[in-house]
Amino acid sequence: MDQNNEKTRGQRIKDLKEIAIVIDTWDDVFSDFDPRPLSMRTVSEDFIEELKKRYRETRTGSFFITIYSPVALKNEESERMVRQRLKKHFFHMFLQKKKRITRLRIRGVIFVLVGICSLSFLTMATYLKFLNVLTLDILSIILMPLGWFGFWEGLSKLIDNSPVFIQEEMLFGKMSKANYRFKYIEEKN
């Protein structure tokens, strides 16, 4: 039993990946174009892009993010605020990506339904003959392509969501749950 627990623990540790990033000032984490106080600034796009790049290198498993900075930045209150801000920002981004994927899938369902309804109406009108031949021919010119396009395009939206959206959703979800650590580097003169 102890070997099993040790093996499972070893596997979890192996699956845990570190993303290390070095900053010189808090402006590396938060936008230096934003004049608001540090607690209200937006997260720097450069910082996010660097984390994305590092994430692509260690995509599998859970991970933690270690931020290396000069000793001069050491401040527990700032660390706590940065942790909270980053988790909140990444959770917000995760929800935005999730909402976008859901919207795409809903559009896919609507397309499929419009396609099925168009083709069904055309089929019913043909077999039940409640329209004259000329009207039916004109409607088939419009409804047949609309029906097939709606059906196949809708299936495409349902099945083949952009891998970029799904990967970003996973990325931001993991970053919102990641453990953020701070380590300080002594400056060499």
Q: What is the mean pLDDT of residues 16-25?
A: 82
> Of the ranges 91-100, 154-163, 176-185, which one carries the lowest mean pLDDT score?
154-163
pLDDT for 59 equals 60
The pLDDT of residue 165 is above 90: no
pLDDT for 163 equals 76
The pLDDT confidence band at residue 57, using thresholds 50, 70 and 90, is: low
CA 153 to chain CA centroid, nearest Å: 23
The pLDDT of residue 1 is above 60: no
The pLDDT confidence band at residue 117, using thresholds 50, 70 and 90, is: very high
Q: Cα separations (Å) of 43 from 49, 64, 92, 146, 177?
A: 11, 18, 12, 45, 17
- How far apart CA 37 and CA 24 sit, in angstroms, is 18
> Of the ranges 3-7, 120-124, 152-156, 159-163, which one carries the lowest mean pLDDT score?
3-7
The pLDDT of residue 11 is above 50: no
pLDDT for 110 equals 96
CA 106 to chain CA centroid, nearest Å: 17
The pLDDT confidence band at residue 55, using thresholds 50, 70 and 90, is: confident
> Of the ranges 18-22, 83-87, 135-139, 152-156, which one carries the lowest mean pLDDT score?
18-22
- 3-state SS of the chain: helix, strand, coil percent to 5? 70, 10, 20
The pLDDT confidence band at residue 91, using thresholds 50, 70 and 90, is: very high
**Which one is predicted more confidently, 141 or 160?**
141
Q: What are phi and psi of 74, to 5 degrees?
A: -65, 115
